[in-house]
Chain A
Amino acid sequence: MSDHQPMITLDGVEKRYSEDAPPAVERLSLDVHRGEILVLVGPSGCGKSTTLRLINRMIEPTSGRIVFDGEDVTHIDANDLRRRIGYVIQRIGLFPHQTIAENVGTVPRLLGWDRGRISERTDELLDLVGLDPSLYRDRYPKELSGGQAQRVGVARALAADPPVMLMDEPFGAVDPITRDRLQNEFLRLQEEVRKTIVFVTHDIDEAIKMGDRIAILRERSVVAQLDTPSRILAYPVDDFVDDFIGSGSTLKGLHFERVRDLELSNDYPFVRSSESRGDTRRLLADSDARFALVLDERGRPERWVDDEDLSRGDPSETVAGLGPKVIAMVEGNATLHDALEAMITSSAGQAVVVGRDGAYTGVVQIEQLTEVIRRMRAEAKAHYDRLRGRA
């Protein structure tokens, strides 16, 4: 089992409910790579849920092959297959008559694990999803909030440590704040468990946030575009994709670039707070900038000063205490979206970048962002041109 072999392959999979009607899923071929989150996203009725349910054969394909970890599973016992695949649905479907521990232990019990191993595993999983086992083990689903129930649903799907998880709008039924938290928790969890995940949503923002790759589907589950979120945002292949990702795709794209990958302009004028007003004024006049940045004695950004501030008082006085404070700062691991926000908030129109110790390392300017956007688009376009050239 090589790392390059896809974890799941759909090979010309088709689902027809009747001979005459158009298929619900039309000859779909798709690879899901090991350890990735592949998001299937598309308008309602495009067949994305059907496609997901074809993978664990909750719906039997009419034709085509499903290959799971190199093994053709199109005709094996469906229950055996499902026990090897974690499954999370929007309405969770916890068993109300069973305790949380019994719920989580469902698949291990089906697989015939002994009691000790099941209870150990259950506690481990509850810990993993952030529910204290000693508190929640013996509770019943009716005693849980929506968010807690969803965590238990995820723990239950992970119980027998399946290599693959299928998630059908798993965070669709909770309020936006809880959803955001669950998404973040899940991404952190995924860092740890590195499962191969197929994730269905109708929400493009969720797809962009959760997906390593996104498949945008149109009717009959036809793939309109399959790529990384940043490339889809930078280069939607057609009007359907463009419409679907909606406005603001450029802004969304900035989420995928990090400040540390930029070449920071270090010719921006800055002075220590012990510098004199006259010298600072001359420095500012020699640059194109409207503001100079004042650093404290430890090199941390403190205030912005402009010519007007500096013209007050005696030129030999220090610049300490002049001008508005620097509020918005970003670190290297911040995204360009964060940087843009800092830029807009900042009185000087710059995003100040600091190191982990808080010391000034440079500024990000709006021109750099437009440059990055231009580059992302050009790269994505070149990528697709290459693909077309090969085709």
Chain B
Amino acid sequence: MDGVRSWAGFVADNVDGVLERSLEHLTLVAGVMVAATLFSVVLGIVLMDRPVARQAALGAAGVLLTIPSLALFAVFIPLVGIGNRPAQIALFLYAILPILRNTVTGLGSVDEAVVESARGMGMGPLQQLLRVRVPLAWPVVMAGVRVSTQLVTGIAAIAVLVGGGGLGAYIQRGLTSLGNPFSIERVWTGTVFIILLALVLDLVLGLIGRRTTSPGIR
């Protein structure tokens, strides 16, 4: 209990800093997710009717996920310098696979009879896509976005190692000053608020997903 009390005290004394770091973290994750979602959905649509390219893209995105995060972060330092930029690029690459895979799966699992009737009523390819395929695949796409967001929120803790901001800073300072006062509290602050942020983001995305999905397919 003492540990919890002293942690709560640390957070209370550093409210401004915690909020600032949380906001940094959120900004980093949100920016990456918006970009990765747009990119992956468009890529998924482009790959829809191209089975070979689709397999290649999914394979490549899968390989990216297996690269240790610190290594991937470091790869971009020589290219774009230190700071948020290498972190954003690496997180963006990690975020692709779940969204891309779900977009491809979602678009592919639209009932062929539905597409056939859309075509039979005189909808062009773009209308079929925007009015039928994408709305029907949307819940699956959103599920991918949620998975990606969780992943990216967690990995973003490492951004601090390449000069970025975010809640990872608490974990890093805590770990490098173990034994000193408040080191454990710092680690816990970073961890707890990353988890809280991830939960809040998931909740928000869940709501957005619900609001943007037709009641007919909920």
Contact = CB atoms under 8 A, between A and B. Distances in A.
Does A pair with B?
yes
A96 interface: yes
A82 B216 contact: no
Nearest to B125: A79
Contacts of A79: 122-124
A58 interface: yes
Contacts of A107: 121-122
Q: Is the interface of B mostly helix, strand, loop or mixed?
A: helix
Interface residues of B, number: 22
B206 interface: no
Nearest to B114: A93
B216 A93 contact: no
Contact of B121 (A83, A97, A140): A83
B3 interface: no
Nearest to A80: B122
Given A79-B123, A83-B121, A92 B113 contact: yes
B13 interface: no
Interface residues of A, number: 27
Contact of A92 (B117, B121, B132): B117
B51 interface: no
A95 B118 contact: yes
Contacts of B111: 91, 93, 96
Given A97-B216, A107-B122, A87 B117 contact: yes
Interface string A100-131: 00000011001000000000000000000000
Interface string B184-218: 00000000000000000000000000000111110
Interface in B83-102: none
Interface string A69-97: 00000000011111100010101111111
Given A93-B114, A96-B114, A58 B119 contact: yes
A83 B118 CA distance: 11
Given A92-B117, A107-B121, 20 more contacts: A58-B119, A58-B120, A81-B122, A87-B120, A87-B121, A89-B113, A91-B116, A92-B113, A93-B113, A94-B117, A95-B118, A96-B216, A97-B136, A98-B216, A106-B123, A107-B122, A110-B122, A110-B123, A140-B215, A156-B121
